[in-house]
């Protein structure tokens, strides 16, 4: 049974807050899973190992995330740091898949 979460501004109890956070965390993990499937696709598509790490693209993605954070009034530096870590983990994941499908 799926329970809808209460909007943050409508929460009246910590149970409602926690339920909302737990539901969002499930959605975030599902979205991360989808993002990593794209990393698998990138590993399959890229022609050589040297093209896995793309510092220009990394900077672009972080800048986009920071801009979105500013628009949504979310801590910009925190989002930038999270995305830096996410991208580094994604690159490592892509390297693993790149090597695995070519060995």
pTM (2 d.p.):
0.89
Residues 6+ apart with CB under 8 A from 61: 83, 87
Q: Phi and psi dihedrals of 5, rounded to 5?
A: -85, 150
pLDDT of residue 82: 98
Range of the domain at 55: 8-102
pLDDT of residue 1: 46
Q: Is residue 47 part of a domain?
A: yes
Q: Is residue 3 part of a domain?
A: no
Residue pLDDT, tens place only, 21-54 = 999 999 999 999 999 999 999 999 999 999 999 9
**Confidence tier at 2 by pLDDT (50, 70, 90):** low
Residue pLDDT, tens place only, 65-100 = 999 999 999 999 999 999 999 999 999 999 999 999
Residue 81: both structure tokens together: 């740091």
Q: Which helix (H) or strand (E) holds 54?
A: none
Q: Is residue 2 part of a domain?
A: no
């Amino acid at each position: 049974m799926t329970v809808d979460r209460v909007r943050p501004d409508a929460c009246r109890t910590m149970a409602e807050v926690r339920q909302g956070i737990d539901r969002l965390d499930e959605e975030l993990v599902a979205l991360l899973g989808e993002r990593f499937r794209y990393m698998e696709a990138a590993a399959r598509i890229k022609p050589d190992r040297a093209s896995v790490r793309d510092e220009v693209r990394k900077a672009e993605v972080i800048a986009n995330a920071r801009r979105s954070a500013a628009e949504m009034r979310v801590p910009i530096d925190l989002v930038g740091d999270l995305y830096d870590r996410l991208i580094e983990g994604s690159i490592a994941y892509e390297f693993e898949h790149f090597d695995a499908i070519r060995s």
